[in-house]
Structure 1
Amino acid sequence: MIERSFVMMKPDAVSRRLMGQILSRFEDKGLKIVAMKLRQIDEDLAKEHHGEHKEKPFFGGLVEYITSSPALTMVIEGDDAISVIRKMVGATNPKEADIGTIRGDFGMDTGRNIIHASDAPESAAREIALFFDEEEICDYSMSDNAWIYE
């Protein structure tokens, strides 16, 4: 089933110049980038995006981190995209993430874990709507689709 997921390369990925390497992993896998913005996330948007953590002790630091530098926000589409992307991203704690995953290859600390990806269709829909207007999401065909999907 074709799904859309929200993916954010966090400020550490942008500041460490890892965007191209990470983006190419999604494209190499056969996933389709249908929207993308490099943006400075403001405090209100950061608080809304991470609202489920607002009562946790790390919330303030999380908001400060995510607003500290630009982030690359994306909508990525593909067959079972949410679970495929989560596997590619790896465990939240980079020290526990498998080598070969984005966090396993580029991260060292949970507080600087490089990337966020939606964990369910409901969160994907909510996060996409927070960061993108529907008209910003492109609908197009990839010429190599027949070589990616049966």
Structure 2
Amino acid sequence: MQKLQLTLAIIKPHAVKNPVALSFIRNVIKNKFIVIKTKRVSLDKEAAGKFYSEHVGKFFYNRLVTFMTSGSVDLHIMGHCNAIELWRRMLGPTSVYKGQFQEPYCLRGMFGISDTRNVAHGSDSPPSAEREIKFFFPEFSFYQWHNGHEVLYRKGPIIFNDHLFEHVRKL
């Protein structure tokens, strides 16, 4: 079995507030990925602005920061042998409109409202995933992950803890 790749998923505020969407997305996540860490946070403008700093000056930046601070977001570190590409494929196109017509059963096609309110974020590359995970989970050790935890999660046994919404090693 290939080593697990990590990605960050951010479930956006409108989806966290929608019990049907959140339940569906969570079922997809826990059935396709190993969930390493989960937390729910409310971003302030400073944190949202820092996270989306690559978009400063773009027409949608203020709308995105305002939206991401409008409610809680769910953050997940997820593992799979092809985590980044799989999560992005499940999300579908960034454009909700495109998703609704080209891939109506992708998560954005089903639950997205607009290109800003497009349900969720997914890292676009391994360096992005590492940077984004460090941003939201500064306590997460990539050294410990790559040199010990990864093989334990990959080879198991692990069980899913519904309360934590994380897979945990079965002792």
Q: TM-score, normalising length from structure 1?
A: 0.87
Query: Once the 2 structures are TM-superposed, how far is the Cα of residue 144 of structure 1 from its aligned partner?
Result: 7.5
Largest Rg, 1 or 2: 2
Answer yes or no: is 1:41 the counterpart of 2:52: no
Q: 1:20 aligns with which of 8, 23, 47?
A: 23
Q: 2:120 aligns with which of 103, 106, 115?
A: 115
The amino acid of 2:115's aligned partner reads T
Q: 1:126 aligns with which of 131, 134, 142?
A: 131
Unaligned runs of 5+ in 2: 160-171
- 2:14 and 2:7 mapped to 1: Cα distance? 21
Deviations 1:8-28 (A, max 9, x none): 000010112222210110222
The amino acid of 1:23's aligned partner reads R
Deviations 1:58-113 (A, max 9, x none): 11111110001000011001111000110011100112111221101111321211
Count of residue pairs the alignment pairs up = 143
2:89 matched to which residue of 1?
87
- 2:128 and 2:22 mapped to 1: Cα distance? 23
2:52 matched to which residue of 1?
50
Q: TM-score, normalising length from structure 2?
A: 0.77
- 1:134 and 1:144 mapped to 2: Cα distance? 19
- 2:5 and 2:96 mapped to 1: Cα distance? 26
Return structure 1 stretches of 4+ with deviation > 4 angstroms: 137-140
Unaligned runs of 5+ in 1: 146-150
- 1:104 and 1:57 mapped to 2: Cα distance? 23
Query: Would the alpha carbon gap of residues 144 and 34 (structure 1) be closer, same or farther in structure 2, given more than 3 Å must change?
Result: closer
Q: 1:9 aligns with which of 3, 8, 11?
A: 11
Q: RMSD of the alignment, in Å? A: 2.0
1:99 matched to which residue of 2?
104
Answer yes or no: is 1:77 the counterpart of 2:54: no
